[in-house]
């Protein structure tokens, strides 16, 4: 079990959460919005894939 804790702490974070934490939040939001089946799977998968590519800068806050 000690190794699992080490793995979790070394997992890269994006905006304060790991990809698995983001995935769980995205799934919850998608379900709350009524997405189901293939649409649910496609949307949540694509959203998680996009997280590492998001770059924030001052121009984004116009």
Q: Which whole-number Å values give the CA distances from 9 to 12, 23, 45, in the listed order?
A: 8, 17, 23
Tell me: pLDDT of 2 over 60. no
- Confidence label for 61 from pLDDT (cuts 50, 70 and 90): low
> Domain-by-domain residue ranges, the chain?
19-50
pTM of the model: 0.68
Segment 4-45, tens digit of pLDDT: 444 555 789 999 999 999 999 999 999 999 999 999 999 999
Nearest to 23 by CA among 48, 46, 40: 48
Residue 43 φ/ψ region, left for φ over 0, alpha for ψ in the -120 to 50 degree band, beta for the rest: alpha
């Amino acid at each position: 079990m000690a190794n699992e804790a080490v793995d979790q702490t070394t997992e890269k974070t994006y905006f304060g959460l790991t990809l698995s934490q983001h995935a769980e939040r995205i799934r919850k939001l998608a379900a709350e919005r009524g997405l189901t089946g293939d649409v649910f799977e496609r949307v949540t998968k694509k959203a998680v894939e996009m997280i590492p590519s998001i770059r924030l800068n001052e121009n984004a806050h116009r």
